[in-house]
Amino acid sequence: MASRSTVCTTLALLVCAAVLQPARAAEPGEPVRVGAVLPFSGGVELYGQQAKLGLDLAAKDINAAGGILGRPVEVIYVDDKTRPGSAAEAMRSLIEKQGVLAVVGPITSQNLNALVPIAESSKTPLLYATNYEGGKCSRYLFSFGAVPNQELGQLLPYMTRTFGNTYFLLGADRVWPHQMFGIAQPLIEKLGGKVVATKYTLGTETDFSPLIKEIAASKAKVLLFALKGDGMDFIRQADDAGLLKDITVAFLGLSEVDLGIFRGKGQNMVTVVPAVAASEDPAVKAFVAKARAAAEPGVAVSNYVMTHYSTLIALKAAAEKAGKLDKEAIIDAMAGLAIPSPTGPVTLGQDHHVAMNMFIAKTQGSELVQVRALGEIAPEPECSPTGR
Residue 271 within any structural domain of the chain = no
Q: Which CATH number characterizes residue 232's domain?
A: 3.40.50.2300
Number of domains in the chain: 2
Amino acid at 161: R
Residue 306 within any structural domain of the chain = yes
Last residue of a domain, one of 210, 234, 252: 252
Phi, psi of 206 (to 5 degrees): -120, -30
pTM for the model: 0.89
Last residue of a domain, one of 217, 252, 287: 252
36 shares a domain with 135: yes
Handedness of CA 40, 46, 51, 55 (dihedral sign): positive
Residues 6+ apart with CB under 8 A from 317: 18, 19, 333, 337, 339
125 shares a domain with 81: yes
169 shares a domain with 68: no
The whole-number pLDDT of residue 200 equals 96
Q: What is the pLDDT along the chain (388 residues), one digit of tens a residue?
A: 444 333 333 333 333 333 333 333 334 469 999 999 999 999 889 999 999 999 999 999 999 999 999 999 999 999 999 999 999 999 999 999 999 999 999 999 999 999 999 999 999 999 999 999 999 999 999 999 999 999 999 999 999 999 999 999 999 999 999 999 999 999 999 999 999 999 999 888 999 999 999 999 999 999 999 987 667 789 999 999 999 999 999 999 999 999 988 889 999 999 999 999 999 999 999 999 999 999 999 899 999 999 999 999 999 999 999 999 999 999 999 999 999 999 999 999 999 999 999 999 999 998 999 999 999 999 999 875 433 3
102 shares a domain with 44: yes
Residue 378 within any structural domain of the chain = no
Assign 102 to helix, strand or coil.
Answer: strand
Residues 6+ apart with CB under 8 A from 257: 46, 47, 50, 300, 302, 304
Distance (Å, whole) CA 322 – CA 334:
9
Handedness of CA 380, 195, 250, 113 (dihedral sign): positive
Residue 214 within any structural domain of the chain = yes
Q: What residues make up the domain containing 248?
A: 152-252
- Over residues 237-266, the pLDDT tens digits come to 999 999 999 999 999 999 999 998 888 999
195 shares a domain with 100: no
Residue 259 within any structural domain of the chain = no
226 shares a domain with 203: yes
Residue 384 within any structural domain of the chain = no
The whole-number pLDDT of residue 5 equals 39
39 shares a domain with 90: yes
12 shares a domain with 133: yes
